[in-house]
Amino acid sequence: MAIALTNARVLRGTSLLDGQSVLIRDGRIEAIVPAPGVRGLQKVDLGGGLLLPGFIDTQVNGGGGVLFNDAPTIESIRRIGRAHRRFGTTGFLPTLISTDLEVVAQAIAATRAALAAGVPGVLGIHIEGPFLSVERKGVHDQAKLRELDDSAVGLLTSLGSGRTIVTLAPEVTTPHIIQRLAEAGVIVSAGHTNATYAEVTEALRYGLRGFTHLFNAMSQLTSREPGVVGAALEDPASWCGIIADGEHIAPPVLRLALRCKPHERFMLVTDAMPALGTELRTFELQGRRITVSGSVCYDEDGRLAGSNIDLASCVRNAIELLGLPLHEAVHMASLYPAEFLGLAGELGRIEPGYRANLVLTDENLNVRSTWIDGQREGEDL
């Protein structure tokens, strides 16, 4: 059955348009027409809210009381997706923190099963480690870290459908392995890395496409060694994930970063932990006690350990803390991550032919409802 979403301000490109109806049929946007032209369809009155492209989060460690590492199963993916959907996330990649390769294999198998079963919102998997730098490991378990050699390439390229992101430290592998991953369709991102500027620029030539939580857990920009941060900000083509919670990165630093390369190469991520969407204030991460404090999480030594923020709040912060217009902040949570994932032909816009992944908010970006492939929140949960 086709439906018509009416009485909303619809974000198309850079403009919020009044008087438009979005027609949905078979999970996709069929047309966008003037409201008076809707006849013979079931109408859904959106109460004058903002209708935005659904948000896409490429780094989701957990939510709804579930940490993907603890239970890499299809049911965990489903629960994590439910928790984030309440805050406008209609596409996500469950993210696995450094662990044994046997667990990586389980997580890939669970993601493959979730994709086959049509679990709402899941787009693939993000494997964050264990191919990381000891010097920049953050809260990752040092005992799990290892170099990336040929033996793991088959595993990392085995998902078979959806998207795979692998976060690695370029210095713990070779440019040719990065090239093999990229040629196999893996999206290679640099993170938890102490690489030099020269090492990163070489990796970019061999297929490195992104930077995981820019500024955090990587070598910094200094006067004589630009480091990972310098290489990321200088390169106009690569994407940078940013956690806009006001604490992982000071807002003035993010504002400076946004002047260095095109805005369309930045995307908002949450790096969310299991407390998201719950009342949890502590949880366990690989044997360590993690405490939730506002929108961030800390381990027992006071180190950052992911976040407790949702994407709608990140969009709001991008407007309030970074001074971005609404459309640009929304694009950082929808269109730009879709482009990073190679899905910009079907996600990230409200346009005919696109999947009907949408979020309805009020003027303050409080989420009121979502649609994933045309199914409204509550109809497929």
Q: Is 177 helix (H, G, I), strand (E, B) or coil?
A: helix
Active site residue 310: no
Return all residues near 231 (Cβ < 8 A) that are at least 6 apart: 197, 200, 201, 204
Beta strand 208-211 with 282-285 is: unpaired
C-alpha closest to that of 95 among 241, 278, 298: 241
Helix axes 175-183, 197-205, angle to 10 degrees: 30
From the list 271, 301, 362, 373, the catalytic residue is: 271
C-alpha closest to that of 340 among 242, 248, 250, 259: 242
- CA distances (Å), 82 to each of 75, 91, 210, 276, 362, in order? 11, 11, 27, 11, 20
Q: To the nearest 10°, the Cα dihedral for 225, 230, 231, 237?
A: -170
Rounded Cα gap, residues 322 and 316, in angstroms: 10
The DSSP element (H or E) to which 64 belongs, if any, is none
Return all residues near 293 (Cβ < 8 A) that are at least 6 apart: none
Rounded Cα gap, residues 129 and 96, in angstroms: 8
Q: What amino acid positions are annotated as catalytic residues?
A: 271
